[in-house]
Amino acid sequence: MAETKTVKFIITRQDTPDSAPYDEEFEVPYRPNMNVISALMEIRRNPVNSKGQKTTPVTWEMNCLEEVCGACSMVINGKPRQSCSALVDKLEQPVRLAPMKTFPVIRDLQVDRSRMFDALKKVKAWIPIDGTYDLGPGPRMPETKRQWAYELSKCMTCGVCLEACPNVNSKSNFIGPQPLSQVRLFNAHPTGAMNKAERLEAIMDDGGLANCGNSQNCVQSCPKGIPLTTSIAALNRETTFQAFRNFFGSDHV
């Protein structure tokens, strides 16, 4: 048989949430235009490592396969990103896959991202419109502002910004850039702005906005190009005013 081209993968695996991680190598037959997920699928189909030993299939998460859901994020050759949009042809080989260690590892490349969803609840990243009667249509949003807000709404809670942030770690309780930028989004919405102070106060709590150390890795890493550091700086300005209002009192309504 003619020699088939293969791609070498070195995958950081972990059997249980508490067990020690270890590396395992795999040789996957090359196919044109393959992405990292297709290679992981090939390993799942035929779970044999490069030594020829049968092993357990590698666990990972995926959903949309078009870089909008954020589920398949992992560390690929040192950088956190989505494995669906990581094309093997554009990666240095051997390809190293590891879980995003900022989050608790469940198994292999699968991590528990619930801290981000908890953070969204904490900062009230929604617009309350429910009432006991029909409140009618809300205020209109200017088109230019809608276009601007759309960029912030692209966040898919993938966790790449938290993985890149040197201040999101086990020593600190920093909530990270992702929920902060959502505060900016919901406070910019004409209806959402009615509860602006609640969200600002949520991020002025311990572990909130002030813990940002301005390394600005988040904005460099965000796969959606969300201006995270601009959001953070803008919130710094708004919380400055909010802090003065809280301290001195204000008749600004």
Partner 1 sequence: MAGNREFFNRRLHSLLGVIPIGIFLLQHLTVNHFATKGADSFNTAANFMGNLPFKIVLETVVIYLPILFHAIYGLYIAFTATSNISRFGYFRNWMYIIQRVTGVITLIFIAWHVWQTRVAAAFGSEVDFDMMAEILSSPFMFGFYLVGILSAIFHFANGLWSFLVSWGITVSPRSQKISTYFTMVVFVLLSIVGIRTLLAFI
CB of 70 to partner 1, least distance (A): 19
Which of 48, 243 has the CB closer to partner 1? 243
DSSP 127-159: -----SS---------HHHHHHHHHHHT-----
Q: Which is nearer to partner 1, 28 or 202 (CB)?
A: 202
Rounded to whole angstroms, how far apart are CA atoms 53 and 209? 49
- Shortest gap between Cβ of 3 and partner 1 (angstroms)? 35
- 121: alpha, beta or left? (left if phi > 0; alpha if psi -120 to 50): alpha
**CB 186 to partner 1: min, Å:** 18
Tell the smallest beta-carbon distance from residue 62 to partner 1 (Å): 23
Q: Give min distance, CB of 221 to partner 1, in A.
A: 7
Q: Which is nearer to partner 1, 128 or 213 (CB)?
A: 213
Strand-strand pairing, 6-13 and 95-98: parallel
Nearer to partner 1, 43 or 212 (CB): 212
Angle at 117 between CA 183 and CA 109, to 5 degrees: 130
Residues that bind partner 1 (CB under 8 A): 78-79, 164, 166-167, 169, 171-172, 201, 204-211, 213-217, 220-221, 227, 229-230, 232-240, 243, 246-247
Output 18 or 206, the one with its CB closest to partner 1: 206
Distances (CA, A) of 91 to 34, 79, 85, 204: 11, 11, 11, 41
- Cα–Cα distance, 21 to 107 (Å, whole number): 9
Nearest distance from residue 71's CB to partner 1, in Å?
22
When the beta carbons of 28 and 158 are compared against partner 1, the nearer one is 158
* Two tokens, residue 29: 């037959």
Residue closer to partner 1 (CB basis): 78 or 136: 78
Q: Strand 79-82 relative to strand 73-76: parallel, antiparallel, unpaired?
A: antiparallel
Structure tokens at 193: 């702005």
| Collapsed DSSP state (helix, strand, coil) of residue 162 | helix
Contacts of 154 (CB under 8 A, 6+ apart): 224, 225, 226
CB of 207 to partner 1, least distance (A): 7
